[in-house]
Amino acid sequence: MSNILIPTLVFSIMSAIFALLLTIADKTVNNYGEVKVTINEDKEYVVKGGSSLLSTLIEEKVFIPSACGGKGTCGYCKVKVKEGGGPVLATEMTHLTKEDLENNVRLSCQCKLKQDVKIEIPEDLFNVREYYAVVESITDLTDVIKMLRFKLPEDAEMNFKPGQYVQLKAPIYEGNDEEVYRAYSIASSPSMKGYIDLVIGYVPQGIATTYVHRHLKVGDEVSLNGPYGDFYYHDNDREMIMVATGTGVAPILSILNYMKEHDIKRKARFYFGAKTTKDLFMLDYFKELEETLYDFKFIPTLSRVSDDDDWDGERGRVNKAIDKLLQDGENKEAYLCGNAAMIESVVKSLTAKGVPEELIYYDKF
């Protein structure tokens, strides 16, 4: 018996000593004291050193876009570090272009605050706020896509442009031991004060989507921050070509809702790509828009239907419908939201029709 207890006791003592040494090291070797973060030359924050620049900014209620929980995998949290950022890490290189490196652009989640730093961020980010909202309704659009309505506090409203997005915080829950933020486009119109609608699809093993689809309930409180993004509606008289797949419908809904509420008289065509009829949703709503908007048509196209299926609409990937139905790109602009492959194929189709690339706005996820 003693032959078992003695090694166990020794191992326990060694583990305790190792843990103590780590604690001492954290308080001595890794104790960087207070450091000063200067933003855009005129805003200063004195903070405790040692944490990442991203997490420190969040603690100071300065929100930078981030979708991976600070792991350096999404590449969203870029800031210009003018002084004090330390060397560029290997974990950043896949997300930084040659131009980024020349301009001292870094991933804020990978910069640890070991000394005073000076950074630059877009001034718009100072308008980003954190909101504690309550889930008012959850609607199943398909087996794997939900629309959620969040009620903001009585004294709060979010001022955003139709097409922009927010970040939703997924908290620690059973099976998940970390808090993460994920970006979701707003589906509601900016005119609908006090509420935010999001369209969220389920991704197997996705931290945030599992939280939304398996744990979140009506009446729960959530943390949102925003708005973010340079994908939004542009006010002019050009014909609008809208293209989306799956949850990419969200910013298009925001734009269409805004146009309806303001009686905007522009010609618009919405090409929605899906696999089968089970992946289509809100068909009655789009039919209503065809009857109420100035000149709007909803064009669903299915990529996985056979000749035997009861479907008389467009077939194939959504770019094929554009190739077939779009006559030319004269006086047109486009709004695209979906995965990278879809965006790339549709941009190719649109430019081939003569739509200027600078008038093709997209949100890729």
Do 272 and 352 lie in a common domain?
Answer: yes
pLDDT (tens digit per residue) in 160-175: 999 999 999 999 999 8
Mean pLDDT over 12-39 rounds to 62
- pLDDT value at position 180? 85
> Over the chain, what is the mean pLDDT?
90
Whether 65 contacts 77, CB under 8 Å: yes
Do 343 and 244 lie in a common domain?
Answer: yes
Do 135 and 217 lie in a common domain?
Answer: yes
Do 245 and 357 lie in a common domain?
Answer: yes
Do 195 and 114 lie in a common domain?
Answer: no
Do 136 and 224 lie in a common domain?
Answer: yes
Banded model confidence at residue 308, pLDDT cuts 50, 70, 90:
confident
Q: Which of 276, 205, 252, 281 is nearest to 361 (CA)?
A: 252
160 or 28, which is more confident:
160
Mean pLDDT over 88-111 rounds to 94
Do 224 and 253 lie in a common domain?
Answer: no
- pLDDT value at position 190? 94
Mean pLDDT over 72-94 rounds to 91
Do 206 and 268 lie in a common domain?
Answer: no
- Name the domain boundary from 104, 120, 136: 120
Do 159 and 222 lie in a common domain?
Answer: yes
Residue 39: give its domain's CATH number.
Answer: 3.10.20.30
Mean pLDDT over 55-70 rounds to 85
Residue 308: give its domain's CATH number.
Answer: 3.40.50.80
- pLDDT value at position 310? 84
Q: Which of 121-130, 142-151, 292-301, 341-350 has the weakest average pLDDT?
A: 121-130
In-domain check, residue 15: no
Instruction: Using the predicted structure, report yes or no on whether residue 349 has a pLDDT greater than 50.
Output: yes
In percent, the amount of the chain with pLDDT more than 90 equals: 74
In-domain check, residue 18: no
In percent, the amount of the chain with pLDDT more than 70 equals: 91
Do 272 and 312 lie in a common domain?
Answer: yes
Banded model confidence at residue 3, pLDDT cuts 50, 70, 90:
low
- Name the domain boundary from 120, 145, 161: 120
pLDDT (tens digit per residue) in 42-59: 899 999 999 999 999 999
Residue 186: give its domain's CATH number.
Answer: 2.40.30.10
In-domain check, residue 21: no
Banded model confidence at residue 30, pLDDT cuts 50, 70, 90:
low
Strands (E) across 96-251 are located at: 105-107, 117-120, 129-140, 145-151, 165-170, 180-185, 195-201, 221-228, 239-245
Banded model confidence at residue 72, pLDDT cuts 50, 70, 90:
confident
In-domain check, residue 292: yes
Instruction: Using the predicted structure, report yes or no on whether residue 152 has a pLDDT greater than 70.
Output: yes
Instruction: Using the predicted structure, report yes or no on whether residue 348 has a pLDDT greater than 50.
Output: yes
Banded model confidence at residue 157, pLDDT cuts 50, 70, 90:
confident
In-domain check, residue 10: no
Do 194 and 248 lie in a common domain?
Answer: no
In-domain check, residue 11: no
Instruction: Using the predicted structure, report yes or no on whether residue 102 has a pLDDT greater than 90.
Output: yes
In the structure, how many helices (H) and strands (E) does the chain have? 9, 17
Mean pLDDT over 118-132 rounds to 92
In-domain check, residue 22: no
Q: How many domains does the chain have?
A: 3
In-domain check, residue 88: yes
Question: CA angle, 90 as apex, 231 and 111 as ends, to 5°?
Answer: 65
Banded model confidence at residue 6, pLDDT cuts 50, 70, 90:
low
Q: Which of 201, 102, 216, 61 is nearest to 150 (CA)?
A: 216
Mean pLDDT over 189-209 rounds to 93
- pLDDT value at position 320? 95
Residue-number span of the structural domain to which 306 is assigned: 239-364
Banded model confidence at residue 19, pLDDT cuts 50, 70, 90:
very low
Do 38 and 103 lie in a common domain?
Answer: yes
Mean pLDDT over 181-207 rounds to 93
- pLDDT value at position 28? 47
Mean pLDDT over 12-40 rounds to 63
- pLDDT value at position 306? 78
- Name the domain boundary from 60, 90, 120: 120
Q: Which of 305, 281, 290 is nearest to 260 (CA)?
A: 290
- pLDDT value at position 198? 98
- pLDDT value at position 23? 44
- pLDDT value at position 297? 97
Long-range residue pairs from 286-295, CB within 8 A, at least 24 positions apart, any chain: 289/256, 289/260, 292/260, 293/256, 293/259, 293/260, 293/268, 294/263, 294/264, 294/265, 294/266, 294/267, 295/265, 295/266, 295/267, 295/268
